[in-house]
Amino acid sequence: MNLYQIALDADEAYSMAVSRELRECLLNKLSQKHYETSKNDNVPLVINIPVVNLIKDQIHSDDSGVYHSQKIFYYREGLSWRFDQYFCHITYDKEAPMEFGKGGDTVVYSIIGSHSWLIKHYTRLNPERLKWRAEHTNDPKFGNYETKAWEKKTPKILLLDESKW
């Protein structure tokens, strides 16, 4: 039996396309070859999909979407979460160095998800969250985000394709 895990943050949601197509993909489209390669190389098998920051409302985003490799992953015995200074990573290598930004990122076997899939990140729609984040920039206790990561001057605002709502 294949056991896939999904790990979303409280301020994230899948697009409708992911909700509609994920089960079919997991059950029928991922091959035994993907599983075997992941197992033989002892690296997590993940489905990479972009995360976009919603801006203004739930159907517009900025143009800074990034692919994320720790949101949909196959679970098999031995998978664990390792923590670097600020973030967590899935791994089978409990001895791997974990130091964010210095080559310690998790090694994964990655499959790219459907072009219509994405994770919608809601945090920039919340003025209180933005205010709190601005008060905690460059603070090691809260992810050590740089000011520029949260203060966008005038981002390019894109209308999300209706299939991604």
Instruction: Give me the domain span that covers residue 102.
Output: 4-125+155-164
- Please state whether the predicted TM-score (pTM) of the whole model is above 0.75: no
Output the tens digit of pLDDT for each of the chain's 165 residues.
456 677 788 889 988 888 888 888 877 777 788 888 888 988 898 888 888 888 888 888 887 678 787 888 888 888 888 877 667 788 888 776 665 555 556 788 888 888 888 899 888 888 888 888 888 887 777 766 766 665 655 567 777 776 666
In a domain, 146, yes or no: no
In a domain, 131, yes or no: no
In a domain, 45, yes or no: yes
In a domain, 39, yes or no: yes
For residue 136, list its beta bridge partners. Answer: none
In a domain, 141, yes or no: no
d(CA 148, CA 137): 9
In a domain, 139, yes or no: no
d(CA 115, CA 124): 24
In a domain, 148, yes or no: no
What's the structural domain count of the chain?
Answer: 1
Alpha helices (H) in the chain, listed in sequence order: 16-24, 32-41, 127-135, 147-150
**49 within 8 A of 70, measured Cβ to Cβ:** no
CB atoms within 10 A of CB 111: 19
In a domain, 29, yes or no: yes
